[in-house]
Amino acid sequence: MNLTRSERWKLSALVLAMVVGAVFVAVRVATNERETVDARQSESVVESSLDSPPELAWTADVRALSDNEGDVLLSMPSLLDQYYGYSGLLDAGTVLIAATGYPLPAVDLSSGAEVGAVTLVGVDPDDGAPLWQTPIGRVSQCAPELESVLLACWGDRRVVSIDTSDGALVADVGTDFDVNGARIVDQTVFVSGNLDGTPVLTKGTPAAVESDFRRTFERSGDFSSVYVTPDRKSVMLTSRGDGTPQYIYTIFDLDSGAEVFAYEGDSVRSVGNGLWLSSVGSESGTVGTQNLLAADGSTIRAIPRPSYGASMYPSNPRNPPPMFLGDGAYDPDTGDELWRNPAVVQSEFSGTQSALVAVVDRVVIVTDPEAKTLTGLDIDDGAERWVTPWEDAYWVRSGLTDGKNFVFGDYQARIPSTPAPVRSDGRFRNPKVWIRGTWSWPRLRDT
């Protein structure tokens, strides 16, 4: 089976998330032929079949990506000014982006080693070879995802824009405020930060980040910050409260600057299609209570059994999936409750957590660490389809799906005598596959 470039980097993303010695486990969910996949599906999805085990394709080698002896791979896209002994890559579609730098000696890596100038490297997802190298100086972070061919990175009071197709340095501009975030949508740059505690937001071009506007927001208390979400056409101003609740959130319309609503609580985050999930009472480390809010901030409903959400999981449904909050499934447009099942959450020391690990076609896969099982729930009504034993259910991590199989990593790093994966009837099918070593990329065997 020949994979496209897109399919190869999606497979690469899986292995980046696996720890050393993690096991690749293929869970098969037998379903009908897959229909059109919703555009909002997770990036942990491949269009090719995962029936065949992956093989090692290539291993990243900093010596091949950097000309400077002593350089290391940094944890791209964040913590680029400190090195803690681990690294990462950023997916840019047709290329993977690595960051290299020289760390100063550190007695204890847990406290981080200071890194000076950073070089971004375009990596070919086919063989791991460097495509281009672009020095960008000292920066602290790059945007966590690409919303155009341009990538924004920042540090201190400067914003750097790089063309990821060829590594060209498009712009390197200074600011008079401390930058804490930058995003590029098409050719438009949004930069957020603060000036002596006053939140600042600018919109412009890579070479002139304030050419469209510069807005400042009233400072409240001893902490205020601003965050922009261009895809939601909104700006969130966060200020520290005077105790309980912890924060005051004010949502503004990105285009007009008009205030949409204000909310006092411990957290507010966007969910569904224009909805918001608010939390109160989470300062002690528990979940507290949660409410689902409409686009104007009005309360739609309380979430009966709140939990920390599973924001990242592979999803390849035949139709648009519901929104999973707490132990229930909800309509992402209206917030209407569709069904509830206690198996969607699990209790841990820090509070109730989501047990959701994947959505594969019409099956929602959840884990139960105490019972040591994986369970498949019907996506339409939450009814149990199958339950199958899994000794290491607590450590199901990351994953990929092709709409039929779910491939994931666990902690035991061994091949059990009982073969896997699991079909919709709960029976095992094929043996588990595993790959040792850090920075290993899988390639499916030709068939």
317-354 pLDDT per residue, tens? 878 889 999 999 999 999 999 999 999 999 876 678 89
Tokens 């390197």 correspond to 172
Burial class (CB within 10 angstroms; exposed 0-12, middle 13-18, buried 19+) of 397:
middle
| Alpha-carbon span 124 to 130, nearest angstrom | 6
Q: What pLDDT is stored for residue 41 in this prediction?
A: 40
Tell me, rounded to whole angstroms, the distance of Cα 204 from its chain centroid.
26
Strand partners of residue 215? 201
CA quadruple 64, 66, 70, 75: dihedral sign: negative
234-280 pLDDT per residue, tens? 889 988 877 677 788 999 988 888 899 999 888 888 899 999 999 88
195 and 206 in contact (C-beta within 8 Å)?
no
For the chain, helix, strand, coil in percent to 5 are: 5, 50, 45
**Which residue ranges in the chain fall short of pLDDT 50?**
1-3, 5-24, 31-42, 413-447
Q: How far are the Cα atoms of 162, 213, 354, 414, 417 from residue 394, in angstroms, in the given order?
A: 40, 48, 12, 15, 19
Burial class (CB within 10 angstroms; exposed 0-12, middle 13-18, buried 19+) of 140:
middle
**Between β-strands 275-280 and 267-271, what pairing exists: parallel, antiparallel or unpaired?**
antiparallel
DSSP state of 308: B
Query: Phi first, then psi: what are they for 275, rounded to 5°?
Result: -100, 170
Which tokens hold the place of 207? 């070479």
User: Which amino acid belongs to residue 323?
Assistant: M
Strand partners of residue 324? 329
Q: What pLDDT is stored for residue 393 in this prediction?
A: 85
Strand partners of residue 280? 289
| Alpha-carbon span 323 to 342, nearest angstrom | 16
Whether a cis peptide bond, with omega within 30° of 0, leads into 306 is: no
- 282-291: long-range contacts at Cβ-Cβ below 8 A with a sequence spacing of 24 or more? 283/244, 283/245, 283/246, 285/350, 285/351, 286/350, 286/351, 287/351, 287/352, 290/325, 290/326
**Between β-strands 178-185 and 169-174, what pairing exists: parallel, antiparallel or unpaired?**
unpaired
**Beta-carbon contacts of residue 52 (< 8 Å; ≥ 6 apart):** 1, 444, 445, 447
| Alpha-carbon span 207 to 219, nearest angstrom | 28
| Alpha-carbon span 230 to 330, nearest angstrom | 24
Calculate ∠ Cα 271-287-311, nearest 5°.
35
Which tokens hold the place of 186? 């098409």
Query: Phi first, then psi: what are they for 395, rounded to 5°?
Result: -105, 20
DSSP state of 15: H
| Alpha-carbon span 233 to 358, nearest angstrom | 29
Q: What pLDDT is stored for residue 240 in this prediction?
A: 82
The CB density around residue 276, as the number of other CB atoms within 10 Å, is: 25
DSSP per position, 185-250: ETTEEEEEEEETTEEEEEEEETTEEEEEEEEE----TT-EEEEEEGGGTEEEEEEE-SSSS-EEEE
User: 423-447: buried (b, 16+ CB within 10 Å) or exposed (e) per residue?
Assistant: bbeeebeebbbbbeeebbbbbbeee
User: Which amino acid belongs to residue 224?
Assistant: S
